[in-house]
């Protein structure tokens, strides 16, 4: 780690004809912060706050949370850091918050749903994020995971704004959220598509089962069509639309996502240089043509082939 094999991509991210695409990094562990800075990330597109809570039997106090968040924010002065509130449950269990006896944990009380029974945990987290933001120059955006309905979006937005958060968003990780994206955009300032979960729920294929990886493939036309709906809603309402799932890390797919209307990509730090370079070689029209061809394909393999034929 820390050994640079290629010089880092020098942003800002954009297509060859200057269509701007913010290239952020995902941060899911303390070591990711230095890597993101090293690889030239334009801030953080997904701060997975679970790592500040894992290995703990009880919830960290507000001052403890403030200290953890400030460490991340301080590494990105004047840059954007998109903080995701706790995404506990399913693949990320937390002893003080989630049940371990659900028959279908991926369909259970996870993500923002944990606030139904434990609203105080979310309240304290939002208070800690708002306080940490006051001490640092990073521009803090805050979003909720696992949103399914407009009502959940309204409730989260009200809580976050009440806590003093200025820029509030939701993740699009369920087909329901993708299909209603334009309504959700009426209450939040931005959305970010989590393609790992959106693929899992669209294809009804567990994201951690290697045997079903062909179904949970981000090139599945059904997934691309849902992303296209969100991109169109974003363009129509001038709402930023990010992608922060693994799909954003594959250069050709990143170009297709941009063609579908996505305005920022967030990925593991090591992917920033290849994704940034690829995008810089392509015009926005080429990205849009590749997106149209991939979306019209009849399967994931065909979608990838069709996009690559256009992207070169
Ligand atoms: C996703 O679901 O695509 C996502 C970015 O969130 P996570 O992988 O943490 O569930
Ligand atoms: Mg997710």
**Ligand 2 centre distance from Cα of residue 233 (Å):** 21
Is pTM beyond 0.90? Reply is yes
For 53-129, strand residue ranges (E) read 80-84
Name every protein residue with a CB atom under 6 angstroms from any ligand 1 atom: 46, 48, 87, 173, 194-197, 244-245
CB 179 within 8 A of CB 230: no
Sign for the CA dihedral angle at 29, 59, 124, 121 comes to: positive
* pLDDT in the model for residue 53: 85
SS3 of 146-197: the string is CCCCHHHHHHHHHHHHHCCCCEEEEEECCHHHHHCHHHHCCCCCEEEECHHH
pLDDT digits 0-9 by tens, 87-127: 998 888 888 898 888 999 999 999 999 999 999 999 999 99
Sign for the CA dihedral angle at 140, 145, 148, 154 comes to: negative
Give, as one character, the DSSP assignment of residue 19: -
- Ligand 1 atom with minimal separation from the 246 CA: 3
Task: List residues, by chain if needed, whose CB lies under 5 Å from ion ligand 2.
Answer: 173, 194, 197
Mutating to test ligand 1, I would choose from 27, 145, 199, 201 the residue with most ligand atoms within 8 A of its C-beta, which is 145
Q: Taking the chain, what is the end-to-end CA distance rounded to the nearest angstrom? A: 32
Number of DSSP helices (H) and strands (E) in the chain, helices first = 12, 8
Give, as one character, the DSSP assignment of residue 193: E
Give, as one character, the DSSP assignment of residue 186: T
**Ligand 1 centre distance from Cα of residue 173 (Å):** 8
Residues 6 or more apart whose CB falls under 8 angstroms from that of 288 comprise 259
* pLDDT in the model for residue 4: 59
Whether the complex's predicted ipTM surpasses the cut of 0.95:
yes
Percent of the chain with pLDDT over 90: 89
**Ligand 1 centre distance from Cα of residue 137 (Å):** 26
pLDDT digits 0-9 by tens, 225-245: 999 999 999 999 999 999 999
* pLDDT in the model for residue 56: 82
Give the whole-angstrom CA distance, residue 34 versus residue 48.
Answer: 15
* pLDDT in the model for residue 3: 57
pLDDT digits 0-9 by tens, 10-38: 789 999 999 999 999 999 998 999 999 99
Residue-wise burial string across 58-78, b where 16 or more C-beta atoms lie within 10 A, e elsewhere:
ebbeeeebbebbbebbebbee
**Ligand 1 centre distance from Cα of residue 297 (Å):** 25
- Counting beta carbons within 10 angstroms of the beta carbon of residue 222, is it exposed (0 to 12), middle (13 to 18) or buried (19 or more)? middle
* pLDDT in the model for residue 242: 98
* pLDDT in the model for residue 10: 78
* pLDDT in the model for residue 174: 98
Give, as one character, the DSSP assignment of residue 92: B
Residues (pLDDT < 70) of the chain are 1-6
């Amino acid at each position: 780690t820390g050994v640079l094999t290629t010089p880092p991509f020098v942003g800002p991210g954009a297509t060859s004809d200057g269509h701007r695409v913010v290239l952020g990094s995902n941060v899911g562990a303390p070591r990711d912060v230095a890597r993101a800075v090293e690889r030239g990330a334009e801030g953080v597109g997904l701060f997975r706050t679970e790592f500040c809570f894992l290995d703990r039997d009880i919830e960290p106090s507000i001052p403890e949370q403030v200290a953890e968040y400030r460490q991340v924010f301080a590494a990105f002065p004047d840059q954007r850091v998109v903080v995701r509130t706790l995404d506990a449950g399913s693949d990320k269990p937390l002893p003080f918050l989630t049940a371990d006896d659900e028959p279908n944990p991926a369909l259970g009380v996870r993500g923002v749903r944990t606030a139904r029974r434990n609203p105080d945990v979310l309240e304290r987290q939002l208070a800690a994020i708002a306080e940490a933001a006051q001490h640092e120059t990073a521009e803090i955006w805050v979003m909720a995971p696992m949103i399914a309905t407009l009502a959940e979006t309204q409730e989260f937005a009200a809580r976050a704004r009440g806590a003093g958060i200025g820029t509030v968003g939701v993740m699009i990780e369920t087909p329901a959220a993708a299909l209603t994206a334009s309504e959700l955009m009426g209450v939040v300032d931005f959305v970010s598509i989590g393609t790992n979960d959106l693929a899992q729920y669209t294809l009804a294929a567990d994201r951690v089962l290697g045997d079903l990886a062909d179904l949970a493939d981000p090139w599945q036309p059904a997934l691309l069509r849902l992303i296209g709906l969100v991109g169109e809603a974003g363009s129509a309402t001038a709402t930023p639309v990010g992608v922060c799932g693994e799909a954003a890390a594959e250069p050709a797919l990143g170009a297709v996502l941009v063609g579908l209307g996505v305005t920022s990509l967030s990925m593991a730090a090591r992917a920033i240089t290849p994704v940034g370079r690829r995008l810089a070689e392509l015009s926005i029209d080429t990205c849009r043509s590749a997106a149209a061809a991939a979306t019209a394909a009849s399967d994931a393999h065909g979608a990838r082939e069709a996009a690559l034929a256009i992207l070169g």
